[in-house]
Every structure is written in C-alpha cells, then in structure tokens.
Amino acid sequence: MTVRKLIEWDEVGTLFADGMTIMFGGFMGVGTPEGLVSVLLEKGINKLTLIGNDTAFPNVGVGRLVSEGRARKVIVSHIGTNPLTGKKMIAGELEVELVPQGTLAEQIRCGGAGLGGVLTPTGVGTIVEDGKTKMVVNGREYLVELPMRADIALLKAKRADKAGNLVYERAARNFNPLMAFAADLVIAEVEELVEVGEIDPDMVMTPAALVDKIVLSRGA
C-alpha cells in the first residue's frame, strides 16, 4: 500500500492544534519553513511550546509566532536576535528555557534515538545545573540532560522526491535532520519536488522513512 505524503496547503492546518510542542529546524530563520509558520498564524494556533536553536527575528521564522503571542514557552539556545522574546520573558508573558546549543542538539538526538539522556559537563557549577541530576564519572562531574521530543517537527528542505527523501541547502540544514527523528509527526516544506530516483542516494540528508508529510512551498 502506497502512503500519500504530498499534501496541499489547505490540508496542513488540520494537522495543528493548540498546546502542541513543535520543533522547527533552521538557524536565525534560515532553514525554517516560513509557509508552515504562516499556517500556524492563519489558523490561530495558540499556547505552543517551540523548540529550536533560536527565535530568529521579530518578523522572520518562528519569531512571528512569538510576536503574535502564539507561544507559551520556547526552548532555545539564545534569544539575542529577537528583542521581543526578551521583553515578553521579562513581562512574564512567555516562558523561556535557555539551553546550551550543543546540549540542545544532543537532547534532541537522544529523543530521536530512544535514549534516556546525555551526560554533559556543560553547565556544571552554574545556574544551568539547578534542579538537575548530577553524576560523577571517572572523577568528573556531569549533568544528566533528558531527551527532548515533540508532537510535530517542521522542516524546510531545498529538494524532495515524492517518497519524502530530503536535501537541504548549506546552513539551512541546521537542526532539520536531527528533528526528523524526534517528533511524532514530521512535515517538510520543500522548494522543489522531483520523482523518486532523481535524487542521488548519496545526497539524501533525511531519508523518506522519517518524513510523514510533504508540502510544496507557495510560489515554488
């Protein structure tokens, strides 16, 4: 039985609901699926928990969700490029959990691999360790960082075939492949769609088995 992965934009909104935890790929908006973010805004989806490297800029990427007050919490490695995130945090309108970038990547990787967590020395002796389990291995202290998963991962790919094999463009690859492993539903917004067999297997960065839905970028 062939599973239909390619969907139309009017179907995308039916996949979202208030209160979801959503992972989004990219770095400062590059590699974040703007079209999928637009659907979240258009459908009025609210009370989201967003997991990603950063909150981009006020009018770019998931920064738009922060600006419109659609997020209740963000888990990111920094918020410096989006002053609205900081203002909402200080005002008590948004919960912000800051996680060192490498630790964030490893927590997502653990979530995708079914592991119980990762040991890291990053944050030992700082406020990062508050409330966390510590372990000593070979005389060195580590924090136990727990795995992260999401209801949905929103990816942005340069190219896909109809089976769902994905290729990213340069820095747009950031976090996208990791998140494909760590969500219950994976949706990829793609700029170019080709037939199965047209992508060299050596170029595939996210295999089709991890991708549930594909939508072609508006205007593509």
Using the predicted structure, report yes or no on whether residue 220 has a pLDDT greater than 60. Answer: no
Q: How confident is the model at residue 80 (pLDDT cuts 50, 70, 90)?
A: confident
pLDDT at residue 1, as a whole number: 42
Q: 95-109: per-residue pLDDT in tens?
A: 999 999 999 999 999
Q: How confident is the model at residue 219 (pLDDT cuts 50, 70, 90)?
A: low
Q: How confident is the model at residue 83 (pLDDT cuts 50, 70, 90)?
A: confident
Using the predicted structure, report yes or no on whether residue 160 has a pLDDT greater than 80. Answer: yes
With a pLDDT cut of 70, the percent of the chain lying above it is 98
Q: 125-150: per-residue pLDDT in tens?
A: 988 888 899 999 999 999 999 999 99
Using the predicted structure, report yes or no on whether residue 186 has a pLDDT greater than 70. Answer: yes
What gap in Å lies between CA 192 and CA 105, rounded to an integer? 27
Q: Which domains, from first to last, does the chain contain? A: 9-115+148-216 (3.40.1080.10)
The average confidence (pLDDT) of the chain is 91
